Structure formats: structure tokens, C-alpha cells
Amino acid sequence: MINLNIIAEGSTEEAFVKNVLSGYFAPMGIYVYTRKIRTGWNKTGNKPAKGGVLKYSMFKNDINRWIESDRDKQNTYYTSMVDLYGFPKDNASPYSTDIQRIKNPYRKIEKLEEAIGRDINHSRFIPYVQLHEFEVFLLCEPHRLIQMYPERTRGVEKLTQEIDRMNPEEINEKPTTSPSKRIIKHVPEYGGQKAQVGPLIAEDIGLDKLRACCKHFNDWISKIENLIK
């Protein structure tokens, strides 16, 4: 039996892990737990504030905090599910200028994950950064949006035409053409419903399709599968 702790960027990723990945890995003997990144303290609610990667130190500290709290646990691994879109570029971040300049997105993400791995420096930590954000999953089969937004059929058709023959993982991280912004352009309602709707559509598309469509994501899932081997 293996325990896998996944630090998630936000509610969307957290729901996807709980609704899709946990059920997939459990029959293999890999039991998945997830929580959102702790970003500070919510004074109003008198509790930790969670979600988002505002600074790299928040991401790193929360991973290290989880590792430290589990220091006596055996067969426990750690990984992350955060977006390249908006990944911190502050002075403490391993997302260096040299890595940012790499044009090939797969080469870029490889180098970034290697740098994160060196920085966390824990033998059972598997760094994973999503190319370029969660919504690449929805762009694998954008027509699925119609099920949630039947009044936006024409908009979804335009979105489908817009990304025709594009690799979803290569759709960039520019403020107006990132995966989520492309969806919101044609389906404005999605902007306020991402955390609820995104995981539902990804679950509907199915893990097999997501893996076939998204090479980098598939590589991450394969690494986790190999833990049991």
C-alpha cells in the first residue's frame, strides 16, 4: 500500500483529484489525499487561507510542512498539481529566466520540474506542473461544455474551430489566449463556475481520453502508477 499526498493549486484541481484520480489509483493500492496550498491566514474566519500560488515560498513551505508532519510514515509519497500559467517568477522561485525563455513547452516544463525537485530535495517528492493550466482537459473535448451550457452551443462551436488541430497542452499562457481565457471568451459563465464545472467536465471526458490527449499529464500518471511496481 502507498499513500500519495497531492498539494493542489486550488479548488478545481482539488476536486479533480478527489473525484477522478483517487478512484483510479485506489484499486492499485495507491491511496490519494489532497489539500490546497496554504497561502496565509484568513483573519475573518480565523483559519488558514488556501488556494493559489502567489509566491513560490508558499508552495514550497506547504509541501515541506506536509512532509515534516508525515516524517514517521512509511510508503508515503508527495506530488503537486499546479499550473504553469501564473507560476511564481519571484526571486525565490526556481522558474528562472533561462527556463522561461525555453520555447518548447515540454522542454520548459521538464526543466522547471527538475529545478523544483532539486529545490524541495526529497526522495519521495514528484514535482508536477500542468501545461499550461487545468482547462487543457476541457479543450480535449470542448463539445462537452454544451452539456453544461446548452445556450452557448454556437460559442462552443466557435471555440472548437478556434483550437482545431492544436495540441491542448501547447495552448499558451498568455493573458488572453490561455486555455481558460479561450473558454471564457465563448462561454462567459464558465469564469465564475470554474471550480464546480471544470472537474465535472474533465470527469465526463474520462481519464483515458485525457491521458491520450495530454502527453505531459500522462507521463505524470505513469510515474505514479510505477510507484506500486
Q: Quote the pTM value.
A: 0.92
A 10 A CB-CB count for 192 gives: 10
Residues 99, 112: Cα–Cα separation, whole Å: 7
Q: Over its length of 229 residues, how does the chain's per-residue pLDDT go in tens digits?
A: 999 999 999 999 999 999 999 999 999 999 999 999 975 443 444 444 444 578 999 999 999 999 999 887 889 999 999 999 999 999 999 999 999 999 999 999 999 999 999 999 999 999 999 999 999 999 999 999 999 999 999 999 999 999 999 999 999 888 899 999 999 999 999 999 999 999 999 999 999 999 999 999 999 999 999 999 7
Task: Return the closest-CA partner of residue 129 out of 197, 219, 210.
Answer: 219
Intervals of CATH 3.40.50 along the chain: 2-131+214-225
Assigned architecture for domain 2-131+214-225: 3-Layer(aba) Sandwich (3.40)
